Structure formats: C-alpha cells, structure tokens
Chain A
Amino acid sequence: MPLDINEDNLKHGVLGLVMALVEVIADALKHQAYRRVESGRLTDLEVERLGEALIELDAAIEEIKEQQGIAESVKAVRDGLDSIVNDVVDRLINPDRWEEEAKEQRI
C-alpha cells in the first residue's frame, strides 16, 4: 500500500490512516441512508434531518483533513485500498487467473 510513513510524520501517517477509515465508514453510512430514503419509509422531516447530518459529517471530515494537512495521505490510503479490493474482485471473477498466479508464486 502506498503509505509513506517515516519518523518525522508518524503522527501524520497514523492520522491519515484513521481519517481514511472514517471516510470509508461515512460512505457506508451514506449508502445505508440512501437506501432508507429510497425505500420511502421515512417522513420528509426525517429525510431532511438525515441529509443535514450527513452534510455536517462531510464538513467535519474535510475540516480535520485540512487542519492536519493529511488530505494527500488519506487519498493515498484509499487508492491503495481500492487497488487491493480491485485485485480480489478480479480474481473472484476470473478463478482461472487466480490459479495461474498461485502456481507462479509456488514456483
């Protein structure tokens, strides 16, 4: 994973990792919220309150990233996670390629 941690910015790195995870969780929350809204089971007021809460969550995350100057680190962590997940999904879809690669590694 493209995480660049050294003694100077260890705090930087840990914070970056933490915020990346917070973003991922926030995404999951938004996804759930969206599904609730679409299901039509919420009242208008509830939809409004949900939306506002998410807006504030987004703002808070952005503010922290800006203050700590970790926007780059967070992006790097998320890109790394993306490529790992891509790989796994790719191998699930193409079990043959998985087998080939496993063989290669054993050799």
Chain B
Amino acid sequence: MNWLYIALALREAGREINEKNMRKVLAAMEVQVNEAELRFFTSAMAILSMPKPDNKADESYSPVEEAQMAQRQWDFEESAAAGRLEDAGREQFSSPVKTPIEEKIESIAPAESPVIQYAGQTGSNDALYIYGIADKGVSARLGPIGLEGSEVYTIPYNSICAVVHDCCAQPYQSDDNEVVKAWVLAHQKVLDAAVERFDAAILPMGFDTIIRGKEEMERKQVVKDWLDQNCEDLIKKLTRIKGKQEFGVQVLWDPKIVAGQITETDDEIRELGEETKEKPRGTAYMNKQKLDKLLKQKMEKMADKRFKEFYARIKGCVDDIVVEKTKKTENGRQMLMNLSCLVEKGRVQGLGEELEGIENMEGFFVRFTGPWPPYSFVTPAKI
C-alpha cells in the first residue's frame, strides 16, 4: 500500500509517476528498493492515470502488457524465494499470454491477483478472428463481447465490413467443454449483436475462422485484400440471405409404430403372418425370418416415400433448402431427414404449420430449431 501513498505524494507534488521519481522518494525514505515490485507498481500506476486506449489493435506493447510482464516477473521471484520450481516460473515469464484489458485493469490494484490464463492462445499476436461479414461499410466498435472478452470491432471495405477481434495466430482449442461452450455462445452473441446494431444482413463465419498476417502484410491489410478479392461474391451472398433466417428441420419416426401400421395394412405381410400361425414351431421360426426381412424392405420403401413427400411439402414453404446427414438418436426413434432451410422472416409461420401437420401424423415427430445465422447457405471462399 505504501506504493499508493508514494504515487499520491508524487501526484500532489505535480511530479510524474515514473520509476526515477519513485526511486528518489524511496531513497529519501531510506527504504530498500525491490526492483520487481517497483517496476510492477510503476506501470500499474501509469495505467490508472492514463485514458482507456482507443484502438487496441494499434498498440503493440500497451502498458497493460508491461504491467503483466512485470507482475509475472514478480511472481517468478516470489515463487523462487518460496522454494518452488524455478522452471515453472521461468516458463510463465518467457511466453507472454494475452488477456483482456478490462479485466486486468480492475485486478491490477490487489497485487496478489493471479495471472489469468486460458488454454491454447500463446504465441505471436498478429491475427484476426473473424465472426462474419456484414453488408454495411461501417467502422465501429462493438465492445468487449468477443471470445474471452476481446474487444470486437469492424474492418470496413466499400459497402461491407468484417466483424473481428485481435487474436493470436492459433485456433481456440480446449479440452474443457464448458470453455468451448462459452466461446461458441460468445461467437453467436457477437453475430446477433452485429445484426442488431447495424440492422444488416451478416454472412457468418464458422467458429475459429482466423486470418493471419503475412510476412510483409499487416493483418488488417490481409483482411482488406481478401474482402477486395471476394467483394462481388460476398455481396451476392449477402443479398441472397438478407431478411432470411436459417432453421433446422428434423423429421423422426418411431419404427415400432410404423412397423405396426405396415403389418396391419400391407396384404403381403398379413398373408404371410396368417400362414406362419399355422405352421409347426421350426418352420414358423424360419417363416418369421422371412417376414422380418419383408417388413424391413417395406419400411425402407415407406421411409423413402415419406422423405420425398415431406421434402416436397417443406420445399414449398421455404426459400432454400440443404439436405444434411442424418444423425443417430437414442430414444428408439430414427431420423428420417435432417434439413437446413433458409426462410424469409414472413414465411416462417407457414413452415411451422406444415411441420405441425407432419407432427400430427402417427409415429412421426418433428424437431424444429432456429433461427440461426445462415451457416449452411454460405460456402466459404478459400482464404
């Protein structure tokens, strides 16, 4: 806490709060100088008296990072003194980890605060994480709503802009599911915020789309060049998806119910069933095998028929449709079809009604999710 008083004293005296002055005061007080502490607190005080940096991207070595480095060295020395492994400390110090500014400014006052680290993001800080492309050529800041609280802003180019945040040239990876979930949610939130703020159509990028600065080219320039090359294509796609949302439609059925229906209605199967009842045990068993195979065939034909039927009905309600791979489900139901539909906002209700009709058919169930940003209707250009 004495550091605070020293800083205040310097302030009052109209002196700048820097290392030299701090040393003078300490010398006057005849107090031994702890180098690491001194460095840490000088940079900490310096930040508190500075205005919040405007565009973080332009500062390669902000005072915050200086403070972090200083604190890390202090931790290192402390741990060395406490007899812990020196290797651990050294490792922590030699690879600077990027952390959000806002969080750091608050935690800088209590000196014991641990350095915040998250998995995966170490290394050079010269890349941009892209959330998506919006069809408004604005340059704006959306605040610290990005992954790990990163500051999100836009890089405009003509009538479009890329929504990005600064990051290291490494994909966001983690073994912890909760962490990944948080990241994906943040990604989604940024896209939603952008749509709201700019009232624009936005072409979403998949999670972990990162553009790296090349040898001589600064990363922003790389992005601008890419926007330039693909401008026409991007604008075309943006107009295509403007005012529309993506919905996931999955139709499932309960094979038992459907099998029951077929057994009752299908003549061939019914006859065979009748026959089997009269035969002796062994032969009946073999007959049953035949029955099962026949039933399976009929189910497959029925599945095919229904698929085509539903597909035609749904296609009539939406603007565009993509057939996705069916997934396995657990509760005894089979997935018949897995579609991604691009629907204009006004037509969503029509689609809903059509799906309700399908849901009402016995043995069929519909899973309707959305609205999502139109991930399935955007084929990414090669970067």
Interface residues of A, Cβ cutoff 8 Å to B: 30, 33-34, 37-38, 44, 47-55
Q: For B198, what are the chain A residues with a Cβ–Cβ distance below 8 Å?
A: none
A-B interface pairs (CB < 8 A), number: 36
Contact A48 B280 (CB under 8 A): yes
Contact A52 B289 (CB under 8 A): no
Contact A48 B281 (CB under 8 A): yes
Contact A48 B282 (CB under 8 A): yes
Alpha-carbon gap, A52 to B283, bound state (A): 8
Most-contacted residue by chain A among B284, B285, B290 (CB, 10 A): B285
Q: Is B33 an interface residue (CB 8 A)?
A: no
Q: For A50, what are the chain B residues with a Cβ–Cβ distance below 8 Å?
A: 282, 286
Alpha-carbon gap, A60 to B57, bound state (A): 72
Contact B290 A51 (CB under 8 A): no
Alpha-carbon gap, A54 to B280, bound state (A): 14
Q: For B281, what are the chain A residues with a Cβ–Cβ distance below 8 Å?
A: 48, 51-52, 55
Contact B283 A48 (CB under 8 A): yes
Contact A34 B289 (CB under 8 A): yes
Q: For A48, what are the chain B residues with a Cβ–Cβ distance below 8 Å?
A: 280-283
Most-contacted residue by chain A among B283, B284, B290 (CB, 10 A): B283
Alpha-carbon gap, A48 to B286, bound state (A): 8
Alpha-carbon gap, A33 to B293, bound state (A): 14
CB-CB nearest in chain A for B292: A34
Contact B286 A34 (CB under 8 A): yes
Sample of 11 A–B contacts (CB below 8 Å): A33-B286, A34-B290, A37-B290, A48-B283, A49-B282, A51-B285, A51-B286, A52-B281, A52-B285, A53-B282, A55-B285
From residue 274 to 299 of chain B, which have CB atoms closer than 8 A to chain A?
280-286, 289-290, 293
Contact A52 B290 (CB under 8 A): no
Task: Please give the distance in Å from A58's CB to the nearest CB on chain B.
Answer: 9
Contact B282 A37 (CB under 8 A): no
Alpha-carbon gap, A50 to B286, bound state (A): 8
Alpha-carbon gap, A54 to B290, bound state (A): 14
Most-contacted residue by chain A among B280, B282, B293 (CB, 10 A): B282
Q: For B286, what are the chain A residues with a Cβ–Cβ distance below 8 Å?
A: 33-34, 37, 47, 50-51, 54
Most-contacted residue by chain A among B281, B284, B286 (CB, 10 A): B286
Alpha-carbon gap, A44 to B290, bound state (A): 16
Contact B283 A47 (CB under 8 A): yes
Task: Please give the distance in Å from A106's CB to the nearest CB on chain B.
Answer: 18
Task: Please give the distance in Å from B273's CB to the nearest CB on chain A.
Answer: 16
The 8 A-B residue pairs whose C-beta atoms are closest, nearest first, are A51-B282, A51-B285, A48-B282, A52-B282, A51-B286, A37-B286, A34-B289, A48-B283
Q: For A47, what are the chain B residues with a Cβ–Cβ distance below 8 Å?
A: 282-283, 286
Alpha-carbon gap, A45 to B285, bound state (A): 13
CB-CB nearest in chain A for B289: A34
Alpha-carbon gap, A37 to B285, bound state (A): 11
Q: For A55, what are the chain B residues with a Cβ–Cβ distance below 8 Å?
A: 281-282, 285
Q: For A49, what are the chain B residues with a Cβ–Cβ distance below 8 Å?
A: 282
Q: A44-B283, A49-B282, A52-B281 are in contact. List 8 more A-B contacts (CB 8 A).
A: A34-B290, A37-B286, A38-B290, A47-B282, A47-B283, A50-B286, A51-B286, A54-B285
